[in-house]
Amino acid sequence: MKILILTNYANGLWLFRKELLLAFMEDGHDVYVSLPPDENVDKLRSLQCRGRTVNIIETPFERRGNNPVKDFGLFMTYRKLLKSHRPDVVLTYTIKPNLYGGLACRLSRIPYLCNITGLGTAIENGGMLSRILLGFYKISMKKARRVFFQNTRNRDFMNSYGVAVRNSRLLPGSGVNLQEHPFSAYPSEEEGIVFLAVIRIMKDKGIEEYLETARRLKERSPNLHFWLVGEYEEETRDRYEPMICALEKQGIIRYFGHIDHVGEVMAKSHVIVHPSYHEGLSNVLLEAAACGRPVLAGNINGCIETFVEGESGFSFEVKNTDALVEAVEKILECSPQQRRAMGEAGRAWVEKQFDRNIVLQAYREELAEL
């Protein structure tokens, strides 16, 4: 089969779905990927299996813009792409490929599978834009062969608005590659306890609560260390870069920027913090558990599925710095041995529930039906 994948970010596909691309090629399929060009595209081009490579179709578009003229241009680009390449099936990821790519596939009568990795800020915030997007989703997803959701809350919410009522299926997020993210022994706490947040630098990922928590607790407990990994969203860089630089100069946080192999930093940390306001299913928390680290995460769907409360992590109310501070204090009340045991319990949980091979099998089953 000729499989066409529509997505908005090469590195996301590389980090969380390269095994899927390799599995398709191993099964004898030809894989084409349409996405905006950036420095990460060559990673996908490097994938090889059984003499096949990933065919890249560079398709520029604004990941976060809301210009209707440009978005209509993306829809027309997808229409032309489908006409010229005539794939046997199309897989879509993230909002714009799901909406515009899904609609283009429906009108072209080409089978398509959509993956709703999260609802996104526009829908979560409600209002007129939310209602417009939900109506658009209903139209675009209606004829999809399958619409994958990553948590029950997102599925039930979308179903309540008539989206993917009869063609939905749950996946354990993107799963986690247990070989690529091996268990790492819990490090010594002799030089202090390291808390690590791996998030995109934007409000909805909880960056403000994390930075304020670091400021409050570092002043009281110098033996606590707060690390931050993640890239700036360009529209929020002016707001957060001065704040983060100032906290770095004061010795309150350590900022690593964007890192491809975040497992190396996780292995040197003791606790992973994830204060995001909404998630499809958090890859960061899955990787943290695979590494063997206890987690502190928002009490939201997309996070709470990845750990067992009190056994491998603690939850807290999102958008609430006091709640995050209390969660940090709660895990500090545990002994080093208890924190180590929580990390081991987290590894056992993801091995049982979130092996990435579960996701590969689900896609293979859907393709087999075609």
Structure confidence by residue, pLDDT tens digits, 214-265: 999 999 999 999 999 999 987 889 999 999 999 999 999 999 998 888 999 9
Look at residue 123 in the predicted model and tell me its pLDDT. 87
**Mean pLDDT value of segment 78-105:** 96
Q: What's the whole-model pTM score?
A: 0.88
Residue 366: Cβ within 10 Å count: 17
Which two three-digit tokens encode residue 27? Answer: 């099964």
**Residues 154 and 256 occupy one common structural domain:** no
Asked if residue 185 has pLDDT above 80, the reply is yes
Look at residue 71 in the predicted model and tell me its pLDDT. 85
For residue 188, being part of any structural domain is answered with no
**Residues 299 and 158 occupy one common structural domain:** no
For residue 281, being part of any structural domain is answered with yes
**Residues 208 and 269 occupy one common structural domain:** yes
In this predicted model, what pLDDT tens digit does every residue of 256-297 receive, in sequence order?
A: 998 888 999 999 999 999 999 999 899 999 999 999 999 999
In this predicted model, what pLDDT tens digit does every residue of 89-101 receive, in sequence order?
A: 999 999 999 999 9
Q: Predicted confidence band at 315 (pLDDT cuts at 50, 70, 90)?
A: very high
Asked if residue 314 has pLDDT above 80, the reply is yes
Helix, strand or coil for residue 115? strand
Asked if residue 64 has pLDDT above 80, the reply is no
**Residues 112 and 257 occupy one common structural domain:** no
Domain housing 280: 193-353
Look at residue 122 in the predicted model and tell me its pLDDT. 82
DSSP annotation of 54 reads P
Look at residue 92 in the predicted model and tell me its pLDDT. 97
For residue 105, being part of any structural domain is answered with yes
**Residues 197 and 298 occupy one common structural domain:** yes
13 half-sphere exposure, CB direction, 13 A CA radius:
31
In this predicted model, what pLDDT tens digit does every residue of 191-211 receive, in sequence order?
A: 999 999 999 999 999 999 999
For residue 182, being part of any structural domain is answered with no
For residue 187, being part of any structural domain is answered with no
**Residues 203 and 151 occupy one common structural domain:** no
Domain count, the chain: 2
For residue 181, being part of any structural domain is answered with no
Cα–Cα distance for residue pair 357/75, rounded to 1 Å = 32
**Residues 33 and 147 occupy one common structural domain:** yes
For residue 230, being part of any structural domain is answered with yes
Q: What is the CA radius of gyration of the chain?
A: 21
- Of 205, 231, 206, 227, give the one whose Cα is nearest residue 218: 227
In terms of Cβ atoms closer than 10 Å to its own Cβ (0-12, 13-18, 19+), residue 122 is middle
Q: Predicted confidence band at 126 (pLDDT cuts at 50, 70, 90)?
A: confident
**For all residues of the chain together, what is the average pLDDT?**
94
Helix, strand or coil for residue 241? helix
**Residues 209 and 317 occupy one common structural domain:** yes
For residue 344, being part of any structural domain is answered with yes
CATH of residue 149:
3.40.50.2000
**Residues 26 and 47 occupy one common structural domain:** yes
CB 134 within 8 A of CB 155: no
**CB-based contacts of 68: which residues, under 8 Å, 6+ apart?**
none
Angle at 297 (CA atoms; ends 321, 65), nearest 5 degrees: 80
**Residues 100 and 83 occupy one common structural domain:** yes
**Residues 198 and 226 occupy one common structural domain:** yes
CB 100 within 8 A of CB 81: no
